A and B are shown apart, each in its own frame.
Chain A
Amino acid sequence: MTWTDLAPLGVELILLAGALSLLIVDLILPPGDKRILGIGTLGVFLAGLLATWTLPLDGLALGGAYEGDAMGVFLKRVFLLSGALAVLAVQGHGPKAWPRRQGEYHQLILYSVLGMSLLSGVRDLILLAVAFELMGVPLYALAAWQKRDAGAAEGALKLYLTGAVSSAATLYGFSVLYGLSGSTRIADVAAAVSAHPSPLLALGATVAVAGMGFKLGVVPFHMWVPDTYEGSPTPFIAFLSVGPKAAGAAALVQLLLPGHGALLGTVMELFLVLSAASLVLATLMALPQSNVKRLLAFSGIGHMGILLMAIATGTVDGLASLLFYLLGYLFTNAGAFVVVHAIREDGGDDSIDSFNGLVHRSWFLSGAMLLFLLSLAGVPFVVGFWAKLFVFMAAWQAGFEWLVILGALVSVLSLFYYLRVAKAMFMGTTERRDEVPMHWSVRLAVSICLIAITGMGLYPNPFVAVAEAAAKAFLG
């Protein structure tokens, strides 16, 4: 190994160097106003994004444990954007609510994105385990952010316990995969599975996938999702509900699809069952929710079902639809949570009632929220429609007709609970007529998400083309 070997890790090196320098800045600065840390973090994310276009990121690194390709670059952009949105949305809230801990919030998000970024091109089980942890551990700390609040500590404990159990299970699965194939390289594991299919290998893969399912929050490993969402700071949830989910999907793709989906074949039934269960149960549980964050949590679980469906196809089309879905879901879900954050800042309590009559107080927020909800439900002319359509088409071609029909039915049903929020905003009544106060950062974050989802909804083609090229680069 030499130092030139590290060229494909350009984005990761920028993130690491940026995070460490910001940590040093945080230590040198006297306690007080530390807004500069937030701006610096945004700068690091923008530099990373810029690097995905300017630096040569293709090729092997870390002695073959990491390989940069077009899919990795695509995923890195998704991860960096999710981190940037989470940091942007907190710029107004952070200096007021926890002025002494601004450095830590930004640090933790940076390290989590660093872990995700490493996951985008992982070719080795050891690196996969390490990167997955690097992504996950900062999330535990961030979930416990509101440390005076017993609910937050509980939500964090639930996230932590499911996370710790799931990583132990994943590692156990990895150890079996490694032991039976004699190599930690994912390609070798896949080759061993094709050459000597053994039930023990399937068992190892099943345990590993179940462990990752915990992190994704698919049914039946979803118990932590609503509690953690409810108890944590909303800008962080805008991140947690998007970045780590995309990274989890990416990790599943990296683990299961190489070698013509050899490992995927061993867990196919499990995948389909988990997907169907997530779609149905999440929708049924979302219907009676009165808290917007819990409602969005269950909606997120349903979306994970669609992600699993896309991965299960194992085809280039399926992978391309997955990548496009991740991009669309990023802006849609993050945008929705940033709106919830703005309402919370205004004195709301995350209940649907606090959205009553929002249209009289801010046409911008209510209109944006409506579009985000429609995109989540998959209504035409916003990105969610195309994203779902492409996944369904790929899944139909792969022969999962029943799952597609189920997904479409559930999407229609999901309109009901999304529109409950819309109904509160447009038909609910409120005494208040004052404009909802909004920090510039919140306005900017919502605007970015809004432009992205309508832009991708009206002109999906260029983004689909990039996603397809990325999927082809990975599957060859």
Chain B
Amino acid sequence: MLDSWTQALVFLLLSFAVPIAMLVVGMVLRVRSRRKTSPIKHEIYECGEEPDGPAWIRFHPRYYVVALVFVLFDVEAAFLFPWALGIRDNGWLAIADMTLFLGILVIGWAYAVRKGAIQWQ
């Protein structure tokens, strides 16, 4: 019982201590920068490449759409690995399951294609 209380205490302390510590450190550092402002302080990287142009340049929105579609289908593939390991034990039922799963994904894919989500022009 004592042990589990200690764990809870450590957890609580950690979850309070980390943000507080970061805020305090940030505050300490900020005092110095407030006293002496220089244009360098306002740069994105204090050392390294000079930023060229605004940081928020306009990417073509299509880029995001394609990326989003890719990420979605990419992660669904994660479910294929445990399925491949268990397919021997579950036989045709496993195959039917995965067919259904992939079937739904294919309909989603058809939707993305039909609505022009992956057409660049």
Query: Do A and B contact each other directly (Cβ–Cβ < 8 Å)?
Result: yes
Q: Which residues of A approach B to under 8 Å, CB–CB?
A: 1-3, 20, 23-24, 26-27, 198-200, 203
Selected contact of B114 from candidates A27, A198, A199, A203, CB within 8 Å? A27
B residues 70-99 touching A (CB-CB < 8 Å): 93
Query: Contact: B8 with A23, CB < 8 Å?
Result: no
Query: Contact: A200 with B11, CB < 8 Å?
Result: yes
Closest beta carbon of chain A to B114's beta carbon, Å: 5
Selected contact of B5 from candidates A20, A27, A199, CB within 8 Å? A199
9 extra A-B contacts, CB within 8 A, seeds A27-B110, A200-B8, A200-B11: A3-B93, A23-B107, A27-B111, A27-B114, A198-B4, A199-B4, A200-B4, A203-B11, A203-B12
Selected contact of B93 from candidates A1, A23, A198, A203, CB within 8 Å? A1
B119 at the interface (CB under 8 A from A): no
Binary contact readout B1-41 vs A (1 if CB under 8 angstroms, 0 otherwise): 10011011001100000000000000000000000000000
Q: Closest residue of chain B to A180, judged by CB?
A: B4
Given contacts A2-B93, A20-B104, contact A199 B111 (CB under 8 A): no
The contact sample of 10 A-B pairs, CB cut-off 8 A, is A3-B93, A24-B107, A24-B110, A27-B114, A198-B1, A198-B4, A198-B8, A199-B5, A200-B7, A203-B12
Query: Contact: A203 with B111, CB < 8 Å?
Result: no
Closest beta carbon of chain B to A290's beta carbon, Å: 36
Top 8 nearest A-B pairs (CB, nearest first) are: A199-B8, A198-B4, A27-B114, A200-B8, A20-B107, A199-B5, A200-B7, A200-B4
Residues in A neighbouring B111, C-beta threshold 8 A:
23, 26-27
- Distance of A1 Cα from B91 Cα, bound (Å): 12
Closest beta carbon of chain A to B36's beta carbon, Å: 35
Closest beta carbon of chain B to A309's beta carbon, Å: 28
Closest beta carbon of chain B to A29's beta carbon, Å: 10
- Distance of A24 Cα from B8 Cα, bound (Å): 52
Query: Contact: A203 with B8, CB < 8 Å?
Result: yes
Residues in B neighbouring A24, C-beta threshold 8 A:
107, 110
Residues in B neighbouring A198, C-beta threshold 8 A:
1, 4, 8
Binary contact readout B24-66 vs A (1 if CB under 8 angstroms, 0 otherwise): 0000000000000000000000000000000000000000000
- Distance of A397 Cα from B74 Cα, bound (Å): 53
- Distance of A27 Cα from B93 Cα, bound (Å): 30
Closest beta carbon of chain A to B105's beta carbon, Å: 11
Residues in B neighbouring A2, C-beta threshold 8 A:
93
**Chain B interface, number of residues (Cβ within 8 angstroms):** 13
- Distance of A198 Cα from B8 Cα, bound (Å): 9
Closest beta carbon of chain A to B94's beta carbon, Å: 10
Residues in B neighbouring A203, C-beta threshold 8 A:
8, 11-12
Q: Closest residue of chain B to A2, judged by CB?
A: B93
Residues in A neighbouring B1, C-beta threshold 8 A:
198
- Distance of A257 Cα from B118 Cα, bound (Å): 47
Residues in A neighbouring B114, C-beta threshold 8 A:
27
- Distance of A410 Cα from B45 Cα, bound (Å): 54
Closest beta carbon of chain B to A199's beta carbon, Å: 4
Q: Closest residue of chain B to A200, judged by CB?
A: B8
Q: Closest residue of chain A to B8, judged by CB?
A: A199
Residues in A neighbouring B5, C-beta threshold 8 A:
199
Residues in A neighbouring B107, C-beta threshold 8 A:
20, 23-24
Residues in B neighbouring A20, C-beta threshold 8 A:
104, 107
Closest beta carbon of chain A to B75's beta carbon, Å: 13
Q: Closest residue of chain B to A21, judged by CB?
A: B107
Residues in A neighbouring B8, C-beta threshold 8 A:
198-200, 203
- Distance of A24 Cα from B93 Cα, bound (Å): 26
Closest beta carbon of chain A to B31's beta carbon, Å: 30
Closest beta carbon of chain B to A30's beta carbon, Å: 11
- Distance of A198 Cα from B114 Cα, bound (Å): 54
Closest beta carbon of chain A to B53's beta carbon, Å: 25
Among A3, A23, A27, A199, find the residue whose CB has the most chain B CB atoms closer than 10 A: A199
Q: Closest residue of chain A to B5, judged by CB?
A: A199
Residues in B neighbouring A26, C-beta threshold 8 A:
111
Q: Closest residue of chain B to A27, judged by CB?
A: B114
- Distance of A198 Cα from B37 Cα, bound (Å): 52
- Distance of A20 Cα from B8 Cα, bound (Å): 46
- Distance of A2 Cα from B12 Cα, bound (Å): 45
Closest beta carbon of chain B to A285's beta carbon, Å: 28
- Distance of A23 Cα from B110 Cα, bound (Å): 10
Q: Closest residue of chain B to A100, judged by CB?
A: B115
- Distance of A2 Cα from B96 Cα, bound (Å): 11
Residues in A neighbouring B11, C-beta threshold 8 A:
200, 203
Residues in A neighbouring B93, C-beta threshold 8 A:
1-3
Residues in A neighbouring B110, C-beta threshold 8 A:
24, 27
Residues in B neighbouring A200, C-beta threshold 8 A:
4, 7-8, 11
Closest beta carbon of chain B to A327's beta carbon, Å: 32
- Distance of A128 Cα from B4 Cα, bound (Å): 27
Closest beta carbon of chain B to A240's beta carbon, Å: 23
Closest beta carbon of chain A to B11's beta carbon, Å: 7
- Distance of A203 Cα from B107 Cα, bound (Å): 42
- Distance of A24 Cα from B114 Cα, bound (Å): 10
Q: Closest residue of chain A to B96, judged by CB?
A: A3
Q: Closest residue of chain B to A107, judged by CB?
A: B111
- Distance of A2 Cα from B111 Cα, bound (Å): 30
- Distance of A24 Cα from B106 Cα, bound (Å): 11
Q: Closest residue of chain A to B108, judged by CB?
A: A23
- Distance of A198 Cα from B11 Cα, bound (Å): 13
Residues in B neighbouring A1, C-beta threshold 8 A:
93
- Distance of A218 Cα from B78 Cα, bound (Å): 36
